[in-house]
Chains A and B, each alone.
Chain A
């Protein structure tokens, strides 16, 4: 007998799809901005009509770093929670729509002020560069909207647990809730600086701003932000990929442990972005560097679990020898291939991260284009290729269509194009960075400085890579539009893997939120209390706003 496919409720599917559409529109526009940046930086091309490089750069960072990621993640998680913990109630779904509209209105507002040249402050908006108040208010709406959506997921999870006392929650729901808890705790920092410092200051209600406090609150948010991007990719790896290849999940409990470790250690680490700045004592910088290294452990666990899953599956199919199992993997299936390439790129990406977080090595690469190369591997390859790979089943599942053979082939080509383009772009960014080329800068030879002339070949390679990547974006948009509107009608599975040892009871302590949130708060207080008091008590006179673009 054929079991009917377990499906996301049709009304929840609409909510998830709305998020995905905004995400892919952001991909198209933000990707085009990225293409223009690499062309400008090659030195062979100038922007027409006096458009500023930094307006384009701000657009790129905000649309891809904040909008694409946040919308995709929340849409994906709505679908994952609905699929594994059952359809939302009408009122919870309505809360989800309120979150969506708040985020969308906020995005449109910030985009307006960026594109009209009133907010060329980049997506990190460091004070005392002062954007139009509307830019900050728009960003605040995006964050508040994401909280509202997070509360919808929390409420649904609480209802599930009430109805299933003594049971472990479905893995994907547990992971989504963990990620939203992480997000809620870390965005408190950026919300604090935006709402209490930057909005009153940009409206003229307060004259001066404490620059270092604002930066520190930003980076309290800025690093967990990257884990907020990464965890949904890990959800796909842990809970979806094993099913896609026809195997089992290595261990349900270890997956939960990894997520709890991310929740604990990804927040009190922001100082590793501030290693080279004045006003923070080197002792506290080192404390946070130690905590930064703790957060590598769950990634090591994840790497083991994934390859254990792949090898177990290969051997169950009769693979022989040390690496025979590699040949049994479904290389022709884009739902596997795209995330797998993403995993491979995480090896150099993670290594680069360890380099960046180490005091003395950071001194060599800080604010060079090496860092840009680094996060184009982590978020723009590992995370993004996993999101693309998830889209190949998620979008047709939600729209009631199927991925055709032709589209699957195009998706494989897309993945290869992306890998090649990124190898050129990110690779040359890493090399140019080691030679000292700064990030976030338009083309310049710094008065024909011999050092700057050395970077030019690498900058041309970045433009080649950027162009290839833009072709990759066009291919992706073709696939998304096909899956959303033109692919043949049919049933597509939302794959959810089973544990290899289902008889093993899932450890319930992972759902003891009072315990975990308590530890998170304690770690944050340990890492931040003394330095924050220092920053506030020993603050220099504050800064007025500057509009220097």
Chain B
């Protein structure tokens, strides 16, 4: 099979770009720890209210500047839905769903993950900018999907 010289150049360039992209993604994922939220912890979706830490959802101080924020998601609400976080805090957000699949997103940040019944999902973020943030559900969950929202206030 004959491959034209220009096509060889083009494919070498194209495949070279793909290798560079994959290296960037791979190094930031495995070396720099920028992995997508992939928590493997399971939970009984019908016993969320009695399973720690979701039996007492909310912000918990874990260290000097470290916090855990446990949030229960169900159609069509986040619990708790008004949260205050000190500026500069490093927060590990744990979420789980009591019913269907939901999304957990804070527009204007990189906080974005799927919330699925039976699983806890988790990511860590630092809130450096004071102000009001909106949590919203970005996976279709039923008639009230677009009304599902909560607020985070980052305070000095």
Number of interface residues of A (CB under 8 A): 74
Q: Are B29 and A360 in contact (CB under 8 A)?
A: yes
Q: A507-B1, A540-B45 are in contact. Are A546 and B100 (CB under 8 A)?
A: yes
Give the complex CA separation of A66 and B40 in angstroms.
33
Give the complex CA separation of A359 and B7 in angstroms.
30
| Segment 1-38 of B: residues with Cβ below 8 Å from A | 1-4, 6-7, 10-11, 14-15, 18, 21-22, 24-26, 28-30, 34-38
Give the complex CA separation of A246 and B104 in angstroms.
54
Interface residue A104 (Cβ < 8 Å from any Cβ of B): no
**Which A residues touch B1, using CB under 8 A?**
251, 253-254, 257, 507
| Segment 530-547 of A: residues with Cβ below 8 Å from B | 538-543, 546
Give the complex CA separation of A495 and B46 in angstroms.
60
Give the complex CA separation of A253 and B2 in angstroms.
8
Contact of A449 among B15, B134, B142 (CB under 8 A): B134
Q: Are A211 and B14 in contact (CB under 8 A)?
A: no
Q: Are A296 and B18 in contact (CB under 8 A)?
A: yes
Give the complex CA separation of A368 and B137 in angstroms.
10
Q: Are A276 and B117 in contact (CB under 8 A)?
A: no
Contact of A549 among B26, B137, B142 (CB under 8 A): B142
Q: Are A540 and B2 in contact (CB under 8 A)?
A: no
Min CB–CB distance B126 → chain A (angstroms): 15
Question: Which of the four size classes fits the interface of chain B?
Answer: 35 or more
Give the complex CA separation of A471 and B45 in angstroms.
47
Q: Are A540 and B119 in contact (CB under 8 A)?
A: yes
Give the complex CA separation of A276 and B36 in angstroms.
6
**Which A residues touch B69, using CB under 8 A?**
none
**Which A residues touch B149, using CB under 8 A?**
444, 446-447, 449
Give the complex CA separation of A211 and B101 in angstroms.
9
**Which A residues touch B134, using CB under 8 A?**
446-447, 449-452
Q: A293-B22, A304-B11, A451-B107 are in contact. Are A546 and B99 (CB under 8 A)?
A: yes
**Which A residues touch B99, using CB under 8 A?**
128, 543, 546, 548
Residue interface mask A160-203, B partner, CB < 8 A = 1: 00000000000000000000000000000000000000000000
Q: Are B29 and A359 in contact (CB under 8 A)?
A: yes
- Comparing A384-392, A423-431, A432-440, the segment that makes contact with chain B is A432-440
Given contacts A253-B1, A276-B112, A548-B75, 12 further A-B contacts (CB under 8 A): A52-B143, A129-B142, A212-B118, A278-B119, A279-B119, A300-B11, A354-B21, A362-B36, A366-B112, A367-B139, A438-B137, A444-B146
> Which A residues are closer than 8 A to B by beta carbons?
52, 54, 57, 120, 122, 126, 128-129, 211-212, 215, 251, 253-254, 257, 274-282, 285-286, 289-290, 293, 296-297, 300-301, 304-305, 308, 354, 358-360, 362-364, 366-368, 435-444, 446-447, 449-452, 501, 504, 507, 538-543, 546, 548-549
